[in-house]
Chain A
Amino acid sequence: MTHLPPMQPEVHLTDDKKSAEAKLTNPDSVFHVHNVSRIYRMGEVEVHALRDVTVDLLRGEFAVLLGTSGSGKSTLLNILGGLDRPTSGEVFYRDHNLTRADDDGLTRFRREHVGFVFQFYNLIPSLTALENVALVTEIAGHPIDPADALDLVGLGQRRDHFPSQLSGGEQQRVAIARAVAKRPDVLLCDEPTGALDYATGKLVLEVLERVNRELGTITAVITHNAAIAGMADRVIRISSGTITEVLRNEVKIRPSEISW
C-alpha cells in the first residue's frame, strides 16, 4: 500500500556533535537546530518531546518530517516556527539565535520569515479569501499581490468567497496562499492534508510543491503519512523525540503520483 521511492541514509546526527558543528558552517543551511531537547512537565510526569535533536533545513528544500503521533515532530516544527522554546540546546535561523529571542523577537521572526499552514486552515471567517491573504500582506515587507497569491494556488476565481463558502481543500489552498504571500523564508505545514480527503489532499500537496518549486521557499511538512515522503527532497524521520534517520530522495515523485 505504501509507495515509497528509494531512500538513502545521509547522515545520523543524533549523537554526532562534531558533524553538527560542521553543519553550522554549511553554506546551504538556513535553520540549524543544535542539541535541542524539549521537556514538558505534565503534572508530575515529565514528557521528553525532543531529546538532543540536531538537524538543519537547507535552502530551497522540500523537507518532510515523518513520524507517528507523539513522536515529537510537531514540537520540532513549533520550535522552528518560533512558537516554542527548547528546554536546552540552540536554534539558529541564519545568524539569529532564536533561543535567545524574547516574545517580541519571536513574533517579529514569525511575521517576517515564517509562513504557517495549519491542519484546520484557520482562516478568518469574517474575511473573504482575498482578504485573508491581504491580512498578512498588509503587515509584510515585500509581499506578493494577494490576487497573484490566490492565482498561484488556483483560486483566483474564488477570491471573494468567505471561508464558509469554500470547501476544505479550497480553504487550505487559501491558507497556503496566505502563508506564501508575504514571501516567507520558510513554509511550515502541520499535517496540511490531515483534514482533507484523498483527492483534495493531493491537490493541496501539488500546490505546496509548486510553491516550493516556483518561489524556492523552504518547505517543511510534518505528517504521519509516509506516502507524502516521496515528494520531499529530504525525509526526516522522528520517533520518540529523536531523529532516527534522514534520507535524501534521489528521485522526487510528483504529488499526482502519490497514493495512499
Chain B
Amino acid sequence: MKPLGKILRRDLWHLRGQVLAAALVVCCGVTAQVSMHSAYLSLQATQASYYDSYRFADVFASLKRAPEGLADEIRALPGVAQVQTRVVAEVTLDVPGLNEPATGRLVSIPEQQSAMINDFYLRRGRYIEAVHPDEVLLSEVFAQANHLDVGDRIGAILNGRWRELTVVGIALSPEYVYEVGQGMLFPDNKRFGVLWMGREALASAYNMQGAFNDVSLTLAPQGFNKGAEEAEVIASLDRLLLRYGGLSAYPRRDQLSTRFLNDELGEIEVSATYIPAIFLAVAVFLIYIVLSRLVVMQRTQIGLLKAFGYSNFSVGMHYLKFALATVLLGLLPGLLLGLYLGGQVTNLYRDYFHFPVLALVVSPAVLFWATLVNLLAACAGAIAAARRVTALVPAEAMRPEAPANFRAGILERSGVARWMSSSVRMIVRNIVRKPWKALLSVMGIGVAVGLMMVARFMFDAVDHMMMVQFDVVQRDNVTVLFHEPRAAKAVFEIDQLPGVLRAEPFRVVQVRLRHGHRSKQIALTGLASDSELHQIVDSRLRKIALPPDGLLLTKKLGEMLGVATGDTVMLEVLEGNREVREVTVAGLSDEPIGISAYMDAGALARLLREDHLISGAWLRVDPRHEEELYAHLKRMPVVSGVAIRSAMVNSVKEIIDTAFSYVSVIEMLFGAIIIGGMVYNSVRIALSERGNELASLRVLGFTQREVVVLLLGEQALLTICAIPVGLAMGYGMCAALVPIFDRELFRLPLVFSQMTFVYPVIAALISAILSALLVTRRLRHLDLIAVLKTRE
C-alpha cells in the first residue's frame, strides 16, 4: 500500500466516530432518496402498465339513461377509438358478519367474457355465467376487508328488490386502484366495495334493457395535440348526452381513483426531492467540518508531504479520498436500506392502491443518481476543506499554528462581556469567532427539528381536517341516501326507525356552475336553514347562517370558479328539465374536505320547480339502538346508500395510525440522526480544538464537571438557539406544504397541536444530549500530563 493510502486508512480509523456520524447522515439521505424514488417509480410504472394492459378508458361520463344505439353515435365522434357502455348502480349491501349496511357499486360486465375497455383482473374464481343472474365478481379489497371469498353470498337491494348475490370471482380493476366511494377521502374497504355483475341481469333489475347510464371511451392514438382532442371529444360527448341526463364527461386524470393516485405520486415526488436534499446539505457540511479540522490537525504532515515533493493535487486527493470513503461508507448501506425501505413503502401502498401486482421496481438509474449525487456532495465538502491544503506553504505548515485569534468585539466594547462569567464568555466568544460555522450548525439542527415537525404536522392536519369535517360540519351519525328524490314526508318514515333521535332531510342535485370560462360540476345540497346536523362554517369555524336565497360555496370552489361573495354564476341543473338560472353567490364557507355548494332547501325547491323533494336524510342516532337501525336500513328498498360516520372516522384513524406512524417514525429517526450527527461532530471537533485548553483547566484544578460544561456549553447554546429556529423552519416547511396539498379533494389546514412543537424539541434534546455524552466520555481520558509538554 502506498504511504498516503496508509495514512488515509489510519485517519479514517482515528476519526471513526465523526466519519461514522457523517456516514450515517449520508446513509439516511440515500435511504430516503432511493426508497422514495423507487416507491415513486414502482407506483408510476405499475400504474402505467396496468392502465395500458387493461385498457383503462380515457374519458368517462355518467347519465340518466340512454338507448344503446347512442353508443354508435359516440363511436362515430372524431378522435374516439373504443366505446363501452355500462349500467352502474349504487346499492345497499348486507354483508355477512358486518352489522352496518355497506355500499356496493354494481358495474355491469358482458355475460360473455371478452376483451373490453376498463377490463379487470380476475384474481381467483371464475367469470360469471349468463344462466346465473345473481353471480357477481367482487373487488379484492372489499372481499379481504370482509373476509369474503368465492362461494360466499351477499344480500343486496337492487332497485327495491332484495337479492342474494353469489361471489364467483375476486377481481381488480384499473378504475378502482384507489377504491373509495364518491366524496370519501380515505378508503373504507369494509363498507364500500365494487361488484361486477352481468349486464343483462343488472339491466333487467334497473329496467335498463337496451339502455345504459354510464359510458367510457378510449381516444384514438393518432393526435398530435392530445389535450385539445380530448377536450373536443368531451365537449361532443356532453352535447350527445345532454338529452339523456348526462352529467359532465371528464378525462382520466379527473377520474377519482386516478386523481388520488396521481396526487400521491406528486407528493412522493416532492418529498423525494426535498428530504434527500436536506440530508445532502447536512452531509456536505459535516464532511466539510471534519475535513477542515483534519487539515488543521495535520498541517505538519501536509507540510512534510509537500516538502517531500508530493503535489498539491496528490495531497488534496488524499483528503478527497477521505471524503469519498466517508460517503461510500454511508452510501452502500444506504442503497440497500433504501431498497428495503422502498419495498416497505411499496408494501404500505398495497393497502391503498390495489394492483394485480405491485412490486418494487429496482431501477439502476435511481441507484446511479443517488450514488452520483452523494459522491458529488463528498467532493463539494472535500474541495471546500482542501482549499486550505493548497494554500499551505510547506515551511509554514510545519510550524505549529498560532494561537486562536480572538479580538475585542461588540461584546467587549459594549461592556456586555463584563457581566458574563468566564465560562459563558468563553462559550460566547467561541461562537462569535466562527459565526458561519455557528450559523450552519444552527441551521442544520434547525432543519432536522423542522423535518420532525413536518412529520408530526401531517397527523395534526389530518386530525384537524377530520375534526372540522366530522365534528363541526357533518354532525350526523348516519347519512341515508335514497335511490331517487322522494316526497318530503319520506323523512318521517326514517324518523320512525329505531334509535333515530333526529332526522333532517336534504336535497342533493347535480349542477354545473359557470363563471366566465370556468365551470364546475358539483353536487348542490339544499338543507334547512335551521339544520343542526350539518353546519356551514367559516375559516374560524363560526357558524354561517344559510342565506334565504343564493348560493353558499366552499372557499375552494369559489377559487376554482373565480368568484367572490356577491358575484353571480350560471347554474345549470343536470337533472330533470335542466333549468339554467343566474344565481348570486351569497357567501363562502370553509370546509377542509371536498368542494360543496349549499342552498336553502326552500330556495332550491323553487329553483328546481319541485315540491320539496328530498334525496336523503341526516340522522342523529342513539348508540344503544344502532344495530337495530342498521338491520332496518339494510333492508329498506328506498335506500341506496348509508354512510356511518363513526365507522368512517375509525377507518381513517386506522389508516393514519398505520401508514403515517411508519413514515413519521422514520422521519423522526432521520431527524434525530441529523441532530446526533451534527452535535457529535461539533463536540468532537470542539474537543479536538480545545482539548488542550480543557486539559489545562483540569490541571489548574477545574473539576470534570466544570470542564464538561465548557466543552458542551457552546453546543448546548447552539442547540438551544437552533430549537426556535427549527420550529420556525418547521412552520415554514409546513406552510410550504399547505399549497401543495390545496386540492379539490382535501386541503391541509396549517394547524399544529402542542405536541408537534414538543416532540421535535424533546427528540432534538435527547439526541443532542446522547451524542454529546458520547463525546464527554473521552474527557475522562484527557491526558493531563501531555498538556504540560505539548503545544497546540
Binding site for B on A (CB under 8 A): 74, 78, 81, 83-84, 103-104, 107-112, 114, 116, 118-120, 122-128, 131, 134-136, 138-139, 160, 162-165, 178-179, 190, 195
Docked-complex contact B701 and A78, CB < 8 angstroms? no
Docked-complex contact A160 and B430, CB < 8 angstroms? no
A195-B406 in contact given A104-B703, A131-B422 (Cβ < 8 Å): no
Docked-complex contact B789 and A83, CB < 8 angstroms? no
A104 CB contacts on chain B under 8 angstroms:
703
Docked-complex contact A111 and B702, CB < 8 angstroms? yes
B703 CB contacts on chain A under 8 angstroms:
104, 107, 111
A162-B430 in contact given A118-B696, A131-B422 (Cβ < 8 Å): no
Q: Give B429's nearest chain A residue, CB to CB.
A: A126
Nearest Cβ in chain B — how far from A89, in angstroms?
A: 18
A110-B785 in contact given A125-B404, A165-B407 (Cβ < 8 Å): no
User: In whole angstroms, how far apart are the Cα atoms of A184 and B441 in the complex?
Assistant: 41
- Provide a sorted-by-A list of 29 A–B residue pairs whose CB atoms are within 8 angstroms: A74-B785, A74-B788, A81-B699, A83-B788, A84-B785, A109-B701, A110-B701, A111-B702, A111-B703, A116-B699, A119-B788, A119-B789, A119-B791, A120-B790, A120-B792, A122-B787, A124-B426, A124-B697, A125-B406, A125-B693, A126-B406, A127-B425, A128-B408, A128-B412, A135-B697, A138-B421, A162-B405, A190-B789, A195-B791
Binding site for A on B (CB under 8 A): 402-408, 412, 421-422, 425-426, 429-430, 433, 692-693, 696-704, 706, 784-785, 787-792
Q: Pick the contact of B422 from A74, A78, A112, A127 — CB < 8 Å? A: A127
A134-B422 in contact given A107-B701, A162-B407 (Cβ < 8 Å): yes
A125 CB contacts on chain B under 8 angstroms:
403-406, 693
A126 CB contacts on chain B under 8 angstroms:
404, 406, 425-426, 429-430, 433
User: In whole angstroms, how far apart are the Cα atoms of A78 and B698 in the complex?
Assistant: 13
Docked-complex contact B700 and A78, CB < 8 angstroms? no
A111 CB contacts on chain B under 8 angstroms:
700-703
Docked-complex contact A164 and B699, CB < 8 angstroms? no
Q: Give A134's nearest chain B residue, CB to CB.
A: B422
Nearest Cβ in chain B — how far from A171, in angstroms?
A: 8
Most buried by A among B692, B701, B703, B784: B701
Docked-complex contact A83 and B784, CB < 8 angstroms? yes
User: In whole angstroms, how far apart are the Cα atoms of A55 and B588 in the complex?
Assistant: 96
Docked-complex contact B788 and A139, CB < 8 angstroms? no
B784 CB contacts on chain A under 8 angstroms:
83
Nearest Cβ in chain B — how far from A181, in angstroms?
A: 11
A179 CB contacts on chain B under 8 angstroms:
700
B787 CB contacts on chain A under 8 angstroms:
118, 122
B692 CB contacts on chain A under 8 angstroms:
122
User: In whole angstroms, how far apart are the Cα atoms of A162 and B403 in the complex?
Assistant: 10
Most buried by A among B699, B704, B706: B699
A83-B785 in contact given A127-B426, A162-B406 (Cβ < 8 Å): yes
Nearest Cβ in chain B — how far from A227, in angstroms?
A: 21
User: In whole angstroms, how far apart are the Cα atoms of A238 and B572 in the complex?
Assistant: 110
Q: Give B405's nearest chain A residue, CB to CB.
A: A164
Docked-complex contact A136 and B700, CB < 8 angstroms? yes
A195 CB contacts on chain B under 8 angstroms:
791
User: In whole angstroms, how far apart are the Cα atoms of A104 and B405 in the complex?
Assistant: 33
User: In whole angstroms, how far apart are the Cα atoms of A102 and B454 in the complex?
Assistant: 50
Q: Pick the contact of A116 from B405, B408, B430, B700 — CB < 8 Å? A: B700
B404 CB contacts on chain A under 8 angstroms:
125-126, 164
Docked-complex contact B422 and A135, CB < 8 angstroms? yes
Nearest Cβ in chain B — how far from A215, in angstroms?
A: 18
B408 CB contacts on chain A under 8 angstroms:
128, 160, 162
B699 CB contacts on chain A under 8 angstroms:
81, 83, 110, 116, 118, 122
Nearest Cβ in chain B — how far from A115, in angstroms?
A: 8
A135 CB contacts on chain B under 8 angstroms:
422, 697
B422 CB contacts on chain A under 8 angstroms:
127, 131, 134-135, 138
- A116-B699, A164-B402 known, 5 other contacts, Cβ within 8 Å: A83-B785, A122-B787, A125-B404, A126-B430, A139-B701
Docked-complex contact B406 and A74, CB < 8 angstroms? no
B785 CB contacts on chain A under 8 angstroms:
74, 78, 83-84
Docked-complex contact A108 and B407, CB < 8 angstroms? no
B697 CB contacts on chain A under 8 angstroms:
124, 135
User: In whole angstroms, how far apart are the Cα atoms of A109 and B701 in the complex?
Assistant: 7
Docked-complex contact B789 and A74, CB < 8 angstroms? yes
B702 CB contacts on chain A under 8 angstroms:
107, 111, 139
User: In whole angstroms, how far apart are the Cα atoms of A164 and B699 in the complex?
Assistant: 22
